[in-house]
Structure 1
Amino acid sequence: MKKIKIKDYKITSKIKIETLPTLVDLKADKETIEDELRKIRRQLGKLQDTMYAHGKYSVLVCLQGMDTSGKDSLIREVFKDFNARGVEVMSFKVPTALELKHDFLWRHYLALPARGKFGVHNRTHYENVLVTRVHPNYILGENLPSIRTVDDINAEFWEKRFNQILNFEKHLAENGTIIFKFFMNLSKEEQKHRLLRRLNLKEKNWKFSAGDLVERKLWGTYMDCYEEAINRTSKDHAPWYNIPADNKPAARLTVATILYDTLKEYKDIKEPELDTKTKANIDLYRQELNNE
Structure 2
Amino acid sequence: MKLIDVSEYKVTSKIAIEETKTYIDLLADKDAIEEALEGTREKLGDLQDTLYAHGKYAVLVCLQGMDAAGKDSLIREVFKDFNARGVVVHSFKVPTDLEKKHDYLWRHYIALPSRGKFGVFNRTHYENVLVTRVHPEYIMGENLPHVNSVSEVDSKFWDARFEQINNFEKTIADNGTIIFKFFLNLSKDEQKHRQLRRLRKPSKNWKFSAGDLDERDLWSDYMRCYEDILNRTSKAHAPWYIIPSDDKPSARLTVASIMLQELQKYNDIKEPELDDKVKARIDEFIARLEKE
TM category (shorter chain) comes to: over 0.9
* Structure 2 counterpart of 1:93: 93
Identity value in percent: 68
Q: Which residue identity does 2:81 align to in structure 1?
A: D
CA distance in 1, matches of 2:147, 2:249: 44
* 2:182 maps to 1:174: no
* Structure 1 counterpart of 2:250: 250
Q: Which residue identity does 2:30 align to in structure 1?
A: K
Q: Which residue identity does 2:255 align to in structure 1?
A: V
Q: Aligned-pair distance for 1:28?
A: 0.4
- Residues 1-292 of structure 1: pairs in structure 2 closer than 5 A: 1-292=1-292
Q: Aligned-pair distance for 1:103?
A: 0.2
Post-superposition Cα deviations, 1:72-121, rounded to whole Å, max 9, x if no partner, equal 00000000000000000000000000000000000000100000000000
Q: Secondary structure at the match of 2:127?
A: helix
CA distance in 2, matches of 1:94, 1:219: 20
Post-superposition Cα deviations, 1:147-190, rounded to whole Å, max 9, x if no partner, equal 11101101111010000000000001100000000000000000
Q: Secondary structure at the match of 1:255?
A: helix
CA distance in 1, matches of 2:142, 2:164: 16
Q: Which residue identity does 1:268 align to in structure 2?
A: D
Q: Which residue identity does 2:130 align to in structure 1?
A: L
CA distance in 2, matches of 1:265, 1:228: 29
CA distance in 1, matches of 2:230, 2:145: 28
CA distance in 1, matches of 2:8, 2:71: 20
Q: Secondary structure at the match of 1:28?
A: coil
Q: Aligned-pair distance for 1:236?
A: 0.4
CA distance in 1, matches of 2:267, 2:5: 20
Q: CA RMSD of the aligned region, Å? A: 0.5
Gap regions ≥5 residues in structure 2 = none
Q: Aligned-pair distance for 1:200?
A: 1.1
Q: Secondary structure at the match of 2:97?
A: coil
Q: Aligned-pair distance for 1:204?
A: 1.2
CA distance in 2, matches of 1:90, 1:199: 26
CA distance in 1, matches of 2:202, 2:158: 42
Could you tell which deviates more after superposition, 152-161 or 66-75? Answer: 152-161
Q: Aligned-pair distance for 1:205?
A: 1.2
Q: Which residue identity does 2:236 align to in structure 1?
A: D
